[in-house]
Amino acid sequence: EYLRDFRGISQLERELERRLVLKRVTIVPGDSDLDPTVKKELARATAQYLQGILQAGMTLAVTGGTTLAEVAESLPPSRDPWPITVVPARGGLGEEVELQANSVAARIAQRLGAQYRLLHIPDDLGEEAVLALQAEPRIRELLDQIKRADVLLHGIGSAEEMARRRGLPAETVRLLRKRRAVGEAFGFYFDREGRVVYTTSSVGIRQEDVPQITHVVAVGGGRSKAEASLSVISTGGQDVFITDEGAARTLLEIL
Ligand code: G3H
């Protein structure tokens, strides 16, 4: 607490809430680009916030990524079952298994003592096969539950890094550059104004589902994610932003 006040972090939180029009901004001290322990703190703050808003009967949709995987690790293992269902926000986005939304959803559910339902749709299916799978009653019902989630917890990626990590073809990378994509969240790529400029062919939550979700919590830190955070928050769908000082201070400079 002393460190937070000394660095004026509470003030920074209120200023970002006001300027980004968010219900709540939480900032952990430091910059996760420079110090990996800051990412752990970011994850811990997110885990704590999550535990505070979850209630019996809720559906929690989560994305993948290293930050979300860290959130799962930070949740204290629950001794009692909790009637909550955790689902992946979207199907595969070309990440390695540990970083996929399915894996993170299962891990978070285990920690919370919750149930989970996974989306078993391979990344590399053709459009027709995806449509056929989506018509399957059980998959359709799960997709419906995902769209009606009470809480959406998602990571923020810089467009360039995500395109590289997910091995998007050179042609797509060029397109992203041409359209000035800077941020990424749940498989959507956004320009600085928050316009969707590219969509990954995957099933699950779509941009138009987000406003109906009561708690949309974006988490991402490090100054390298400042512009990406601005682009994702500019979509207007987020309620809460959990970040670090590195991203927060850079954000204020570019706002
Ligand atoms: O969509 C955003 C990415 O999943 C963020 O990934 O947490 O590994 O930076 P990261």
pLDDT tens for residues 114-140? 999 999 887 778 888 888 999 999 999
Per-residue pLDDT reduced to its tens digit, 206-244: 999 999 999 999 999 999 999 999 999 999 999 999 999
62, 67, 235: residue to mutate for ligand 1 pocket, most atoms within 8 A of CB: 67
What Rg do the C-alpha atoms of the chain give, in angstroms?
Answer: 17
Give 131 Cα–ligand 1 centroid separation in angstroms. Answer: 27
For residues 59 and 141, is the Cβ–Cβ distance under 8 A?
Answer: no
Q: List, chain by chain if needed, residues with CB within 6 Å of any ligand 1 atom.
A: 63-67, 155-157, 162, 184-185
Rounded to whole angstroms, the Cα distance separating 60 from 250 reads 30
Give 42 Cα–ligand 1 centroid separation in angstroms. Answer: 13
Among the residue ranges 34-43, 80-89, 108-117, 119-128, the one predicted with the least confidence is 119-128
Q: Whose CA is nearest to atom 6 of ligand 1?
A: 65
Confidence at 75, pLDDT banded by 50, 70, 90:
very high
Rounded to whole angstroms, the Cα distance separating 128 from 118 reads 21
